[in-house]
Structure 1
Amino acid sequence: MKPKTIFAHIACLATLTIAACGSDTPDTVDDAENIDVGDVTLTLVTHDSFAITEGVFESFRDSTGITVEVLTSGDVGSLVSQTILSEGNPVGDVIFGVDNTFMQRLLNSEALETYESPELTHVPDGFELDSSHRLTPIDYGDVCVNYWIDALDAPAPASLMDLAKSDYKGSLVVQNPETSSPGLAFLLATIAGTPDWEQFWIELRANDVAVTSGWEEAYYGDFIAGGGERPMVVSYASSPVAEVIYADPPVDSPPTGVLLDSCFRQIEFAGILSGSEHVAEAQLLIDFLLSPTFQNEIPMNMFMYPTAVTAQLPEEFIEHSLLTDSPLSLSPAEIEANRQQWTERWVEIVLG
């Protein structure tokens, strides 16, 4: 997944100390007061873009007594690979940040425990992509083409196919799907959303598309927001919200728009690692990740959207949100079966 922290103002937290509870599993975090407090440390293994306000865990600490340390483990691909390699002898207890572009690889292993959180009653069924309940949906976001409204020489594109038109020659910068989570998501968007994705990328190359290794290089390099010359970039549906929040001087509306026809939905999941010695406590942590206390913190820290309907979005997200009602998607199984050949073919077409 992205660096999911949209702007440099958002720091990735390497380690947090929080509380959890004893050996018997409560139905929810609120029931933790009914169990014995244990001297246990949980390790939450996540990607290197994880960010959350440390204070969010105070209520969890008040209810429980288990320390949780956050261990970052590279990007989502590295996170999944390392989890599979340590199957049965995990470096942590709970994994967070596996998304739908890599989840099937993890589900094909024996690295996860089954757990159906009672908090899932607050999560719409569409987010639950794992019927075995080994991965629990925690947050989501859309990867989309963003454009600088005042910098386009033509009207804003209305569809993915428009990006290959001569009106937008030399306008778009994308990320390499072999090295970038948003780059992979955009490749998947073109596979799901165009009649012939290979021909589409042939036309994009002819239309002088630029390619960077990652999101930061694209957004703060070639894109106008960072002083570059290109008015269109693959980023996130939440990027315009961030442009308003961090604008200096302040602005009333975002300078960027989103091509909704280009949006591919990413869903992030958490799961309990097989071999954990603290499964009951890990279940409690999964419940907490779906609680309003944690869910309410997701937008302003990770610029993603909470999956639980009990969460409250910040006013900035309500006012400036540009989520589509019909995001592009592919099944996790189809992605897993084809991801390598798709990315290799993309390299041949675009970089060859």
Structure 2
Amino acid sequence: MRISCLVATLFIGVSSAFAQEADKPVLTVYTYDSFIPEWGPGPKVEAAFEAICNCDLKLVGLDDGVGILNRLRLEGNSTQADVALGMTTDLIPELMATELFAESDVDLSAINLPGGFDDKVFVPFDYAPLAFIYDSEVVKTPPTSLAELVTGDKDQKIAIMDPRTSTPGLGLLLWMKAVYGDDAAAKWQELAPRILTVTPGWSEAYGLFTKGEVPIVLSYTTSPAYHMIEEGTDRYQAAEFSEGHYLQVEIAGRLKSSKNPELATQFLQFTLSPEFQSIIPTTNWTLPVIDLPEPMPDEFKRLVTPAKTLAIDPEIVAANRRAWTQEWLQAIGR
């Protein structure tokens, strides 16, 4: 009898625990695939938010930010996403054109971004200038300008990302436009022999770089911090370009179709908290958008800080992205 009672008690306890777990609302966040692995910010963000939300945070990894936009366009109002995180400010007009996003209701007063930020719908959560990262054991004379990259040694290959699916890939497309304007197509043609591969997203290209299959890769000025801090090496460095570096600001937004709108707003506000922002530098290897209470690791002081950052008005990007992408495809023979 005592055993039966004990078993019954244990069963009731386990059932109660499962019931409590089942009662928790699920907040689904679409993001990019490099956000969610153990080495990315995802696990720490999930643990920190679940500790305060009484919810189950479900992170869904997709391609880079352009891929997230493409997925949302495909799914429309039937999307399971409550929040999308990982697009860039360059895509705001196109994101708004989907009519899928609601106003964030988030206080943006703590934001400290180059050029500032003011938007009722989207919330920035990190930023970094784009850069070409090189292996200093292979590349003895790194390019000091975009012009030198374009005209450089054709046998010294680079890896870039596809602007149709990748936000850094789109960023490079805009970087070339910002510097070369109407001459961008000709410069792409000149650069094409140096391009070993065009990958769908950042992870694939950077993986080729770290495996030694390509000595130069498109990434961010902040990427060398990972190698300094996690691997204790200065081998991988960012090339500083005299024309300036294209600035990429990543954003998040709440979907109108969310079944948990208040929870989605709570998550967006959480992305601007010191707890979330302090996770970003040494997991996403980008820069926080607020002033942190504790100083950044010293390795960040050793990174390239571009004297000039570049940007193109997002409305101009929206009006021309398709044509510029087609121009790029034709120029590099894809």
TM superposition score normalised by structure 2:
0.79
- Displacement after TM superposition at 1:347 (Å): 1.5
Tell me which residue corresponds to 2:88. Answer: 99
- Greater fraction helix: 2
- Alignment coverage as a number of residue pairs: 304
Contact 1:170 1:209 in 2 (8 A): no
Per-residue deviation, 1:53:
5.3
Report SS of the residue matched to 2:190. Answer: helix
Provide the C-alpha distance between the structure 2 equivalents of 1:59 and 1:234, rounded to a whole number of angstroms. 31
> One-letter code of the match for 2:94?
R
Alpha-carbon distance in 2 for matches of 1:350, 1:59: 44
- Could you tell me which residue of structure 1 aligns to residue 283 of structure 2? 301
Deviations 1:150-184 (A, max 9, x none): 4335x432221122335x33324132434543332
CA deviation map 1:282-334 (0-9, x unaligned): 21111111101111001222112211123646415423322424222112222
What are the residue-to-residue correspondences of 1:268-287 with 2, within 5 Å? 268-287=250-269
Q: Residue 47 in 1 paired to residue 23 in 2? A: no
Which residue of the partner structure matches residue 327 of structure 2?
Answer: 345
Structure 1 residues 321 and 115, CA, compared in 2 at 3 Å: closer, same or farther? same
Displacement of 1:130 in angstroms is 5.6
Q: For structure 1, which runs of at least 5 residues remain unmatched after alignment?
A: 1-37
Q: Is contact 1:152-1:231 (8 Å) kept? A: yes
The counterpart of 1:117, out of the listed 103, 106, 111, is 106
Q: CA deviation at 1:70?
A: 1.9
CA RMSD of aligned residues (A): 2.8
In structure 2, the partner of 1:188 is: 174
> 2:151 & 2:245 partners in 1: Cα distance?
19
Inter-partner Cα distance in structure 1 for 2:293 and 2:72: 29
SS for the counterpart of 2:252 is strand
Note if contact 2:83-2:264 (Cα within 8 Å) is conserved in structure 1: yes
Identity %: 25
Q: Secondary structure at the match of 1:171?
A: coil
The verdict on how the C-alpha distance between 1:246 and 1:112 changes in structure 2, with shifts beyond 3 A counting, is same
| 1:146 match | 133
Report what 1:82 is aligned to.
71
Q: TM-score, normalised by structure 1?
A: 0.75
Could you tell me which residue of structure 2 aligns to residue 292 of structure 1?
274
Corresponding residue to 1:245 among 222, 225, 229:
229
The superposition leaves residues 257-303 of structure 1 with CA deviations (integer Å, 9 ceiling, x where unpaired) of 32244522221111111022322222111111110111100122211
Q: 1:73, 1:150 → 2: CA distance?
A: 33
Unpaired segments of 5 or more residues in structure 2?
Answer: 1-22
Match of 1:329 among 302, 307, 311: 311
Partner of 1:257: 238
Contact 2:27 2:55 in 1 (8 A): yes
The 3-state SS of whatever aligns with 1:302 is coil
CA contact (8 A) 2:64 2:165 kept: no
Q: Which has the larger radius of gyration?
A: 2
